[in-house]
Amino acid sequence: MQELVKDEVEILIDRKIERWWNQLERETLKNKWQRLIGLVGNPKNLTKGKWHFDEDMLLCFDKVRHNAVHHDWEAVKAFEFTVFADQLRRAQLVWSTEIAIRLDLKVPVKVLFGLK
């Protein structure tokens, strides 16, 4: 009986997460960013210094993306994709490390940096 209840709880949790994810899918990148910060916090490394994540650039990218999908491609030409991609890689590395530390996970350096 306990096994059945446990399975039902996991199914309910999975459904809740899927509904949450589907709602989040339609939100702006800024809202997604804020939800992520609300979920795991904003590591200090991303708030200042050379690893600073520029949220204004995230907003600009979201506008460029929306404009490219629904209007024209003019804004794409001026956007600094390389700078933005570098910011995303740094944020991914910092958050991956933060989450691994919080969960006491041992992540091999090769995996963390995507090395073979």
pLDDT of 45-74, one tens digit each?
788 777 888 888 889 998 888 888 888 777
- pTM metric for this prediction: 0.67
Rounded Cα–Cα distance for residues 59 and 72 (Å): 18
Neighbours of 61 (CB within 10 A): 21
Average pLDDT over residues 12-40: 85
Rounded Cα–Cα distance for residues 59 and 61 (Å): 5
- What's at 9, amino acid-wise? V
Give me the pLDDT at residue 2, please. 59
Largest Cα–Cα distance of the chain, in whole Å? 61
**Banded pLDDT at 3 (limits 50, 70, 90):** low
